[in-house]
């Protein structure tokens, strides 16, 4: 029984998450030649303060990326 855990930042509409569950389930069943009924998907939604990259809170990383994109476009 394949079990897949997906961690996402919160804020996506339930319909998109449901569509993702279907797509991931289909891909796993196909790749493993497993019955689709045996595939389990767990989706964990996180708030921004629960995630970090490179020792920095996610909000700091996002702000740095926005600044870098603005500088690159000028």
The Cα–Cα gap between 5 and 19 comes to 15
Q: Tell me the per-residue pLDDT of 13-46, one tens digit each, with 9 for 90 and over.
A: 999 999 999 999 999 999 999 999 999 999 999 9
Q: Which residues form the catalytic set?
A: 2
pLDDT given for residue 55 in this prediction: 96
All structural domains of the chain with their residue ranges: 3-73
The Cα–Cα gap between 25 and 71 comes to 40
Buried b (16+ CB within 10 A) or exposed e, 3-21: eeeeeeeeeeeeeeeeeeb
- Whole-model pTM: value is 0.79
The pair of three-digit structure tokens given for residue 46, joined into one six-digit string: 């996180």
CA 34 to chain centre: 23
Architecture of domain 3-73: 2-Layer Sandwich (3.30)
């Amino acid at each position: 029984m394949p079990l897949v855990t997906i961690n996402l930042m919160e804020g996506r509409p339930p319909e998109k998450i449901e569509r993702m569950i279907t797509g991931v389930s289909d891909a796993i069943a196909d790749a493993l030649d497993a019955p689709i009924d045996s595939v389990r998907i767990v989706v964990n939604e996180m708030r921004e303060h629960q995630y970090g990259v490179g020792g920095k809170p996610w909000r700091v990383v996002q702000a740095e990326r926005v600044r870098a994109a603005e500088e690159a476009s000028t």
